[in-house]
Amino acid sequence: MNIGWIGTGVMGLSMCKHILKAGHTLRIFNRTAEKAQPLIDLGAHFVTIQELAEKSDAVFLMLGYPKDVEQVVLGAHGVLQYMKPNALLVDHTTSAPQLAELIYAEALKKQVHSLDAPVSGGDIGAREGRLVVMCGGTQEALQLAEPILKVYSANIQLLGPAGKGQHTKMVNQIVLAGNMIGTVEGLLYGHKNGLDLEQLINTIKSGAANSTAWSVLGLRMVQGNFQPGFYVEHFIKDLEIAINEANRANLALPGLALVKQLYHALAAQGGGRLGTQALILALEKLNNYEIGKR
């Protein structure tokens, strides 16, 4: 299959490697061309957005912000201007549900199938090909997408019509926010009371309190590894979308709002391009107490 992919950052790079390994023809575009070089070395073709859209049976997006998605899809020179009838558009970006609904409607006018399909699993899930894909759209669109989604995913679910994939991802991010603050506070408490943190993580991960935040990101916190599997600034964007959607639904989610403010504090301290596990730094500063030397 001829596949086009726009956005070859931390997640997109690994996902594209699986596509190439599966033997598909891959055309790619990224605003920072150097980030695409590893894929070019593996046989991907770096082209313009217009050529990518015109020659692809399916176009996939993994971008940073809803504004990027809107420009790349619906802009004057967006992919919908060039995609052929019966082609497929899959947006893996975590974005706004209303934008997903708009893209679906505009794609329908062009006879293009579309899915909003945000993912969960982080950098490790992308590298190991075991992402969770949360889809919104039609069964027909999902059937077209599945042969590609399966090369980098372990769980693919259709949650309803356009926008429901993004709503599901908001639930994912709300739960993750709670897990992150729980992990940070648990590690601070454990260290302050003289516990060995790696032993602590290994003990608790076998019980009811385990989560990816605890077992994977908690260990990175202890090791002082703040390299991004997912950027703080992008997580803030996700939490902002979740709060906006909660407001639209007349829901009060005070825990979510608190975690968002702590991440804003981390970004203000210069941590916007760190991984989300860097939340420990904001709480260390708040308590004037560090769990390790860095």
Tokens of 26: 């891959």
Q: How far apart are CA 96 and CA 79, in angstroms?
A: 19
Buried b (16+ CB within 10 A) or exposed e, 169-181: bbebbbebbbbbb
Find the DSSP H helices in the chain.
Answer: 10-21, 37-41, 49-55, 66-74, 97-109, 122-128, 139-149, 164-192, 197-204, 212, 218-223, 232-248, 254-266, 279-287
For residue 45, give the 3-state DSSP assignment.
Answer: strand
Of the residues 55, 169, 237, 260, only one is catalytic, namely: 169
Q: Which of 167, 107, 110, 168 is nearest to 138 (CA)?
A: 107
169 a catalytic residue: yes
The residues carrying an active-site annotation are: 169
